[in-house]
Amino acid sequence: MKNKMTALILSILTGGIGVDRFYLGYVGMGVLKLLTAGGFGILYLLDIIHIANGTLGPADGTPYEEDGGSMVVRSEKKAHGIFEDMEKAAALHECGALTDEEYSKIKADLLAKI
């Protein structure tokens, strides 16, 4: 996944030679910008605007990788998955499939992942 902030910084700093387009996977446009000094400055400015607005994304069609706030979302998803694993381990312990020692070890391993 490509990061929107990385694409924007590349566009601002090196957009005149097409590095932003190469990063996003648009090789042909990257070469064009390289040979025409950012499309005589026009493509350079347009790319900065389009990347900032989110209308110019990666060539493969994938969305940009989330920035900043996504860490909270990922942490919540990770904690939710760990919680489900703990519930499964507790159920196995209650039915006798896991000994106290096994359950304690699994529980400690899962808590260490949080």
Rounded CA-CA distance 23/8 in Å is 10
Residue scoring higher pLDDT (107 or 70): 107
Determine, yes or no, domain membership for 59: no
- pLDDT score for 78: 65
Determine, yes or no, domain membership for 101: yes
Residues 46 and 10 in one domain: yes
Rounded CA-CA distance 40/73 in Å is 41
Q: What is the pLDDT of residues 38-70, one digit of tens each?
A: 989 999 999 999 999 989 989 988 888 875 544
Residues 43 and 15 in one domain: yes
- Produce one character per residue of 73-87: b if its CB has 16 or more CB atoms within 10 Å, e if not: eeeeeeeeebeeeee
Amino acid at 77: K
Q: Which backbone phi and psi does 3 adopt, to 5 degrees?
A: -100, 130
Domain that holds residue 90: 70-113
Residues 6+ apart with CB under 8 A from 67: 3, 4, 5
Determine, yes or no, domain membership for 65: no
Residues 34 and 74 in one domain: no
Q: What is the pLDDT of residues 8-31, one digit of tens each?
A: 999 999 999 999 999 999 999 999
Residues 78 and 47 in one domain: no
> What domain count does the chain have?
2
Determine, yes or no, domain membership for 58: no
Judged against a pLDDT cut of 90, whether residue 72 lies above it is answered with no
The model carries a pTM of: 0.57
